[in-house]
Amino acid sequence: MQASLPRVPETDVASFVGAAALGRARGYADATHIRELRYDAATHRLDADVAGSGGRGGRAWYSTTVHLTAPDADGYSRPRRSLCTCPVALNCKHAAAVMLYAATLADRDAGVSDWRRQAEESLRTVDAGRAYQEAPIVGMQLSVVPDELAPDGGAGGLQPGLGNRLKARIVVPGSGGRWKSAGVEWDRLRYGWDGGLSLAQAAWLRAVDALARSHRQARVWLDLCDAEVPALWPLVSTAAEAEMEIVPGDGLREVVPGPPRRVGLTAWSPDGSALVVVAAAEVEPGSGGAWDAGGYGAGDDGTGDDGDDGEGRDRPLPGALVGEHGDMVALVRDRVLELSPVGRLGPGVARRLRQWRALTVPDEAVPEFCADFLPDLVDRFPVTDRVGLLELPRFDRVELELTIRPPAGAGPGGATHELGLMLQWHRVDVMRMTDDTEVMRRRPLSVAEMGIGTPLPGDPALVALTTAVSDAGWGWILGEGTLRVTGREAGLVLTDGLEQLRSLDGVTVVLADEVPSIRRATEGPRIHVATEDDRSGIDWLGLTVTVTVEGRPVPFAAIFRAVVTGQDEFLTEDGLLVPVDLERFGELRELLDEAMAASAERVGRDPDGTGVKIGLGQAGVLADLAELADDLEPPSGRARALLELAADTPAPVPAPAALEADLRPYQQQGLDWLAMLWRHRIGGILADDMGLGKTIQSLALIAHAHETAGDHPPGPFLVVAPSSVVPNWEAEARRFVRSLRVARRSATEARSTTTVAEDAAAHDIVVTSAAVLRLDAESYAGIEWAGVILDEAQQAKNPGSKLFAALAGLRADFLLAVTGTPMENNLTELWAVAALSCRGVLPDAKEFRARFRTPIEKDGDQATLERLRRRLRPFLLRRRKELVAADLPPRTDAVMEIELSATHRRIYERELARQRASLLALLDDFESNRISILAGLTVLRRLCLDASLVDPDHLGVASVKTDELIAALREVVAEGHRALVFSQFTTYLDTVVERLRDEGITVAHLDGSTTDRAGAVGEFTEGGAQVFCLSLKAGGVGLNLVGADYVFLLDPWWNPATEAQAVDRAHRIGQTRPVLVYRMVARDTIEERVVELQQRKAELFASVLDSGEHFSAALTADDLRGLLE
């Protein structure tokens, strides 16, 4: 079979299926894609099965048949036709693959080497290319014909002007040197037919067809005037490059290229007794051209007129303006068709010029025509005057008029204050009248009219005016028609807009009488919060929030609409334009939404939802509202309770006398917090780390509850713990609160000798397991418990579990969840624990998922996470071991008193006297002079360190403090210790660093100017530097420098917390050696007064963790007066 396989040249395959299909076929011409290859030498038929493109194994196989010619003298066959079962069916890539594969096998069987086959194929390709270059002669014949759709279309010869049509057909050479129709319809080109054309010819003709294609049918003749894209002239001008000829139609001798032209209306007078206005084309000035004036002439023009007007004047030539944008014009004179490019016209100008029919104006009517019609023509067309009979209007400027009135159908005023803004452009022309006077003609213009080829679009005055309006922020009004604005936008128009627009030259604002009055508010909105205890006996608090502007209430809807849309102003119903703090009122909106979501009920029918009832669980909401409010009415009793819950520092309580254990400080703080929750009968979550004594704190709470109950014992407490922990709970209770009666229920009622009710009645504490509670849920639910302690509360993290249902069914006003891991996997677990313990703090599960879990877990919303933390903070206490239980080595604080040298003392006393005289006077108005006072004190503090820091002339004055520091550090380093040196003044630190290096002590340096902070720290922590000099601000926080065990504070600061943070760089977790802290204080100077002030303020500011600015703000005039006296 293989010996008889045919050989088909690849060039013939390409001609048969096309280059693209051939390229795809090469990937199929192998044994993996072709099977059952068969060739019938008698019928020259080639058959095979070819795989589809769906991948081997599961793809379809197509049956392919190729009919070939008999082999020629060289042994090559050519394809005649093919048929395939694939969707393409005819001349497909599968047929090409079969021919290529058959030829490969035939060459292989005949022993033809690969290089020889490639050489032969290359020669055939070259020969085929040479033959291919001999393209057939094809032309596009052009004819100018009347417009059949025009009122006078088809009557006689061509119509005057440019309203005729330019049509084209495909032709080939005929007999006698004539051209004849190729019998080709343009439509066939659209479906891939090429009729033997060269690739360039076919592509060029398809491009012409694509440009001119429209709703008009185009079979043999194509109307080029329908071209919608201004690209026809470039295409026609490159016809020769595409192997195309542009040939004249019937009645024409030749087609010639013409110079660039401009088109428009022109006025001429055939006999001097009338004026004719017709569409015409003129040569662009300076472009030259083969014809005289271009577009004008005498002779046979296709109109049946010889062109002689009796006066020797040229007449405008008839022609066709081609394309929707008029990018080419075809003119006819003396049976010659000239094609010329046309400059870009404005929108619609080409269409209007084609529609224009020649207008004849009697000589006596020319003034009337000029006065009444010529300005309108100039607005719509480019107009030229070849005979000097017209007085063309002279464009002067444009003006803008803005009319403001309520829109049609709108009532006066109203909540929206809707306005209609009607913008009208006006063109101002200068007209010369028949009596030689000039008048200004002001005519309204539409936006569309401003886009035609008039002086308007590029007029400097227009550009300046529109730019000025836009720069003033009112560019959005530049449009056409009436613009409706409401609310804030209406307020801006009637406040800022009127003043700004009226100040612009060329702008007129007309304000209708019925426009409502709007003004800016004299103050921003104020938030008022009021509370009222609920009198129903339920522990609810009535909360009312209102917002007022200038003493008048404002609906929340208006404010929150501004918040949602990001507008920093809103308009009230009575016409006040009010500024709004978007961040502040955005927070208010979130707080009210949260309160309503968690509320048991609304109050009344408040449409804005400003009145709600909240429980103790909403302590955080009330605290945030109180902080946000401008006016907070004195809180009611329950409001004070909520605010106490929200406070970070619960009132301390004494350790219970019944508790036989000493509480550590953090455990006592835990008891204070638990006692506060118990006092308000709302539970919480004790989430301390393991080993911190959560059990002892819980037992202390139970003892506290009994001791503070007075004559009315609180009733039994129920402890629910894992089964393995129940015995330990019983043992701990009997050990630490022996005066309280404890019962352990390790089994269900069915397996016990006593009932739950009996044990509850006889004991103060009942300890049971979660499993027993779940099984005896009904019995435990029948008891009124004083409180419930849920140990390892994460065991109830599933809201759908029976344990959760059993716990939720207990009758107890107080439930304390005890767990080191209140959340293990997701926020729903935290919600479950909170829902049991601090009920009302979080919304229901569905609302919690939408409001908190989804934004936090899926979107990473940090603001929402912080809001959740704020809500839980009053009800969740968590301490880590390393923060409260680590045993740190001792810290010793000492003061090194420095005696100034005699010279240094004289300089200091002189400066002190000068500063005292000025600063004591300023203290009478402390708040106004705060900066000047602190600056003067800073001079004195710098002077205590080194006199040269204040005056470079004192460089020779020795600094005793520096000398003492260097001496101390020399000994510290010699004994193998390392030190931190802090100062607020970086210039002084520079001096210290230089002295240390002179001493041969290795030193690291860090201040605010240090760019490589990590490198500086690493130099000390890893590089072995013996001393680390740091500015108090740059190095006082955020560093772990436990490698040092000596700390030197060179200049005392009046905020003790700032110094404490600096010392904590060394005295912290991980420190294994005692830490010595030296405060170097110059005797009888302001530094001693600062230390005394520190001691007086230490208790007040022990908890301040922020920068010293808070402390400075708290200094009083008396404090500072004491520093100077």
Considering the domain architecture, whether residues 729 and 863 belong to the same structural domain is answered as: yes
- pTM, two decimals, is 0.41
Q: Which residue has the higher pLDDT, 15 or 921?
A: 15
Q: Kindly state the average pLDDT of the residues 956-968.
A: 91
According to the model, what pLDDT value does residue 743 have?
Answer: 95
Considering the domain architecture, whether residues 779 and 834 belong to the same structural domain is answered as: yes
Please answer whether residues 275 and 383 qualify as being in contact, where contact means their C-beta atoms are separated by less than 8 angstroms. Answer: no
Please count the CA atoms within 13 angstroms of the CA of 404 that sit on its side-chain side: 25
Considering the domain architecture, whether residues 967 and 1116 belong to the same structural domain is answered as: yes
Considering the domain architecture, whether residues 1072 and 965 belong to the same structural domain is answered as: yes
Considering the domain architecture, whether residues 908 and 795 belong to the same structural domain is answered as: no
Instruction: Say how many C-beta atoms besides its own lie within 10 A of residue 819's C-beta.
Output: 24
Helix (H), strand (E) at residue 445: strand 438-445
Asked whether residue 563 carries a pLDDT value surpassing 50, the answer given is yes
Residue 566 DSSP label:
T
Neighbour-count burial of 319, counting CB atoms closer than 10 A to its CB (0-12 exposed, 13-18 middle, 19+ buried): buried
According to DSSP, the β-strands at 394-405 and 419-432 are: antiparallel
List the one residue out of 126, 12, 2 whose CA is nearest residue 69: 12
Neighbour-count burial of 894, counting CB atoms closer than 10 A to its CB (0-12 exposed, 13-18 middle, 19+ buried): exposed
- Domain residues for the domain of 73 are 2-132
Instruction: Say how many C-beta atoms besides its own lie within 10 A of residue 229's C-beta.
Output: 13
Considering the domain architecture, whether residues 116 and 265 belong to the same structural domain is answered as: no
Please give the single-letter amino acid code of residue 1004: A
Considering the domain architecture, whether residues 1018 and 1090 belong to the same structural domain is answered as: yes
Considering the domain architecture, whether residues 364 and 410 belong to the same structural domain is answered as: no
List the one residue out of 222, 350, 210, 200 whose CA is nearest residue 281: 350
Alpha-carbon distance of 395 to 455, in angstroms, equals 7
Q: Which residue has the higher pLDDT, 489 or 104?
A: 104
Who's near 286: CB < 8 A, 6+ residues apart?
A: none
Considering the domain architecture, whether residues 80 and 197 belong to the same structural domain is answered as: no
Q: Which residue has the higher pLDDT, 1110 or 606?
A: 606
Please, what's the largest Cα pairwise distance for the chain?
139
pLDDT winner (highest mean) among 296-305, 461-470, 718-727: 718-727
Instruction: Say how many C-beta atoms besides its own lie within 10 A of residue 736's C-beta.
Output: 19
Q: How far is CA 398 from the centre of its chain?
A: 40
Please count the CA atoms within 13 angstroms of the CA of 1112 that sit on its side-chain side: 14
Domain boundary among 101, 132, 163: 132
CB burial readout 446-459, b (16+ within 10 A) else e: eeebbebbbebeeb
Rg, C-alpha atoms of the chain: 49
Alpha-carbon distance of 1011 to 1008, in angstroms, equals 8
Q: Kindly state the average pLDDT of the residues 54-72.
A: 79
According to the model, what pLDDT value does residue 666 have?
Answer: 87
Please answer whether residues 338 and 258 qualify as being in contact, where contact means their C-beta atoms are separated by less than 8 angstroms. Answer: yes
Alpha-carbon distance of 298 to 619, in angstroms, equals 100
Q: Which two tokens stand for residue 484?
A: 């409706």
Q: Which residue has the higher pLDDT, 704 or 859?
A: 704
Asked whether residue 405 carries a pLDDT value surpassing 90, the answer given is no
The mean predicted confidence, pLDDT, of the chain is 78
Please answer whether residues 696 and 737 qualify as being in contact, where contact means their C-beta atoms are separated by less than 8 angstroms. Answer: no
Q: What is the pLDDT of residues 853-900, one digit of tens each?
A: 888 777 777 877 877 887 788 888 887 655 664 555 777 888 999 999
Domain boundary among 645, 668, 691: 645
According to the model, what pLDDT value does residue 330 have?
Answer: 93
- 3-class secondary structure, 265: strand
Q: Which two tokens stand for residue 595?
A: 């309160």
Considering the domain architecture, whether residues 668 and 639 belong to the same structural domain is answered as: no
What DSSP string runs through 710-766? TTS----EEEEE-TTTHHHHHHHHHHH-TTS-EEEE-S-GGGSSS-HHHHHHH-SEE
pLDDT winner (highest mean) among 123-132, 372-381, 392-401, 1040-1049: 1040-1049
Please answer whether residues 145 and 32 qualify as being in contact, where contact means their C-beta atoms are separated by less than 8 angstroms. Answer: no
Considering the domain architecture, whether residues 197 and 310 belong to the same structural domain is answered as: yes
Considering the domain architecture, whether residues 799 and 927 belong to the same structural domain is answered as: no
Who's near 1022: CB < 8 A, 6+ residues apart?
A: none
| Percentages of the chain per state (helix, strand, coil), in multiples of 5 | 40, 20, 40
* Helix-then-strand count for the chain, H and E: 38, 47
Number of structural domains (the chain) is 6
List the one residue out of 637, 635, 693 whose CA is nearest residue 662: 693
Q: Which residue has the higher pLDDT, 294 or 85?
A: 85
- What percentage of the chain exceeds 70 in pLDDT? 76
Please give the single-letter amino acid code of residue 1106: D
According to DSSP, the β-strands at 1046-1049 and 979-983 are: parallel
Domain boundary among 132, 147, 166: 132
Q: How many angstroms separate the Cα of 404 from the Cα of each of 423, 756, 966, 1036?
A: 9, 81, 80, 63
Please answer whether residues 46 and 65 qualify as being in contact, where contact means their C-beta atoms are separated by less than 8 angstroms. Answer: yes
Alpha-carbon distance of 764 to 590, in angstroms, equals 44
Alpha-carbon distance of 207 to 227, in angstroms, equals 11
According to the model, what pLDDT value does residue 311 have?
Answer: 37
